[in-house]
């Protein structure tokens, strides 16, 4: 490899993306994950490997098979990546991830598809530089605080799951809610766990017409209510935030730094959940992070039930200094019997160690297992 100090000093010649490998991977979930928009029984995702000059960068895309979280779908992403994005980057040399943006930005939407290309290149680039992704991004520390996200289940089951999460030291409990599965749940949870750091995530299930229910949540000392209103809305969240004491946290409705600016100016929320896949990559995630910091708004790193590759990217991102609230990157073993990486991403007392087992994302693909769980594989060469 090259001398990293010389490279950081500005003489880095760039790295050529010689080839790309795009897979569809499917991992069964240990327990079905239920949210207001539907139930997931397995985690299916596009995995992108960019190959350049003896190094490989890996990214995991977060769109669902069907447009139930946001509009992107796996079939749409595969077509866009195959027909447009990968032919545009394979065979080209880039000196930094920012040099990819003129290729990605002109296209409308498709932020999750753009993100997987950009994220895989950040991994490739930081490996070529010989530094952890954390350092390339400008993060600090060797562990990040995390909580659990608990899917919709009978109240008794949820109480048991909270017990388990508390025993493991998780720093925050997020309960998925939907209309009719909200106040009674919160009463039961607060009755049993009066002091825990608690949040709820509605995944867009409510409207302003549900103001009485959302206001009633003020009684439960929630750290925030995540995405109560529509996925494409900022305006109504601003009305809601003026009418409830609890902080609103935006997830689905923030897809770019421009969205974040509008939400911050409108005071549509007091917390933002940053998912690097949702917002189109690390450049956008950092811009949102910086903007929130300037507005005095804390952020935290969300998740999409990613495998070890996506989780590693999330953990490195969460080392940026305004990620002051616990993120969603809990132990991979809560979701999967076996991961596609060789390392184990497990928390200790509610902290996830930053994978620093080498440069880049700091984790490595378990190729043999990856082949078993790969449903489709395509190669791209210049
Ligand atoms: O809204 O944060 C969300 C999972 C799938 C889709 C949307 C969301 C979630 C989670 C899971 O809450 C967080 C995790 O990865 O553990
Ligand atoms: Mg959410």
Q: How far is CA 122 from CA 172, 183, 203, in A?
A: 29, 43, 29
Which atom of ligand 1 is closest in space to residue 335's alpha carbon?
16
136-353: which CATH topology?
TIM Barrel (3.20.20)
What tokens does 247 get?
Answer: 């902080």
Pocket around ligand 1: residues whose beta carbon is below 6 Å from it?
Answer: 35, 69, 149, 201, 203, 251, 302-305, 328, 330
Segment 311-322 mean pLDDT:
99
pLDDT digits 0-9 by tens, 57-112: 999 999 999 999 999 999 999 999 999 999 999 999 999 999 999 999 999 999 99
Segment 164-179 mean pLDDT:
98
Domain boundaries of the chain, sorted by first residue: 2-131+371-381, 136-353
pLDDT attached to residue 1: 39
Does 186 score more than 60 pLDDT?
A: yes
Eight-state DSSP code of residue 106: T
Question: Residue 176 catalytic?
Answer: yes
Could you confirm whether domain 2-131+371-381 is CATH 3.30.390.10? yes
pLDDT attached to residue 8: 53
pLDDT digits 0-9 by tens, 283-297: 999 999 999 999 999
pLDDT attached to residue 201: 99
Question: Residue 43 catalytic?
Answer: no
pLDDT digits 0-9 by tens, 338-348: 999 999 999 99
Ligand nearest to the CA of 39: 1
- Of the residues 51, 114, 174, 176, only one is catalytic, namely 176
CA separation for the pair 244, 226 (Å, rounded): 13
Does 2 score more than 50 pLDDT?
A: no
Q: Whose C-alpha lies nearest to ligand 1, atom 6?
A: 304
- Ligand 1 centre distance from Cα of residue 257 (Å): 21
- Do the domains 2-131+371-381 and 136-353 sit in the same CATH topology, yes or no? no
Q: Whose C-alpha lies nearest to ligand 1, atom 8?
A: 304
CA separation for the pair 146, 199 (Å, rounded): 13
Q: Whose C-alpha lies nearest to ligand 1, atom 9?
A: 304
Nearest to 59 by CA among 274, 281, 378, 254: 281
CA separation for the pair 227, 96 (Å, rounded): 34
Report yes or no on whether pTM surpasses 0.85. Answer: yes
Three-state DSSP class for residue 323: strand
Question: Containing H/E element for 212?
Answer: helix 211-216
- Ligand 2 centre distance from Cα of residue 230 (Å): 12
Cβ–Cβ < 8 Å for 365, 342: yes
Q: How far is CA 4 from CA 8, 199, 243, 318, 332, in A?
A: 6, 43, 53, 24, 32
């Amino acid at each position: 490899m090259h001398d990293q100090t010389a490279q950081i000093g500005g003489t880095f010649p760039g790295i050529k993306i010689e080839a790309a490998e795009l897979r569809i991977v499917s991992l069964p979930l240990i327990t079905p994950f239920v949210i207001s928009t539907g139930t997931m029984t397995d985690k299916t995702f596009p995995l992108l490997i960019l190959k350049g000059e003896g190094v490989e960068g890996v990214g995991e895309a977060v769109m669902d098979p069907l447009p139930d979280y946001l509009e992107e779908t796996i079939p749409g992403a595969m077509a866009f990546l195959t027909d447009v994005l990968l032919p545009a980057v394979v065979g080209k040399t880039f000196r930094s991830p920012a040099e990819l943006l003129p290729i990605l930005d002109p296209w409308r939407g498709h932020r999750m598809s753009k993100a997987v290309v950009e994220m895989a290149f950040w991994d490739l680039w930081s490996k070529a530089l010989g530094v952890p992704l954390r350092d390339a991004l400008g993060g600090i520390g060797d562990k990040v605080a995390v909580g659990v996200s608990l899917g919709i289940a009978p109240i008794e089951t949820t109480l048991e799951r909270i017990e388990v999460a508390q025993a493991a030291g998780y720093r925050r409990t997020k309960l998925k809610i939907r209309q009719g599965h909200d106040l009674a749940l919160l009463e039961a949870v607060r009755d049993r766990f009066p002091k825990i750091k608690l949040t709820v995530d509605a995944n867009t299930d409510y409207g302003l017409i549900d103001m009485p229910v959302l206001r009633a949540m003020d009684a439960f000392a929630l750290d925030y209510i995540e995405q109560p209103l529509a996925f494409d809305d900022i305006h109504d969240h601003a009305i809601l935030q003026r009418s409830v004491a609890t902080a609103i946290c935006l997830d689905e409705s923030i897809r770019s730094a421009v969205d974040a600016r509008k939400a911050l100016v409108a005071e549509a929320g007091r917390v933002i959940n940053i998912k690097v896949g949702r917002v189109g990559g690390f450049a956008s995630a950092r811009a949102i992070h910086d903007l929130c910091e300037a507005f005095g708004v804390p952020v935290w790193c969300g998740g999409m039930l990613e495998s070890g590759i996506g989780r590693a990217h999330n953990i490195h991102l969460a080392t940026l200094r305004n990620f002051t609230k616990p993120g969603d990157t809990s132990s991979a073993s809560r979701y999967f019997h076996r991961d596609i990486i060789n390392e184990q991403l497990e928390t200790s007392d509610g902290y996830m160690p930053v994978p620093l087992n080498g440069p880049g994302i700091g984790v490595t693909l378990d190729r043999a297992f990856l082949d078993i769980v790969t449903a489709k594989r395509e190669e791209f060469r210049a």
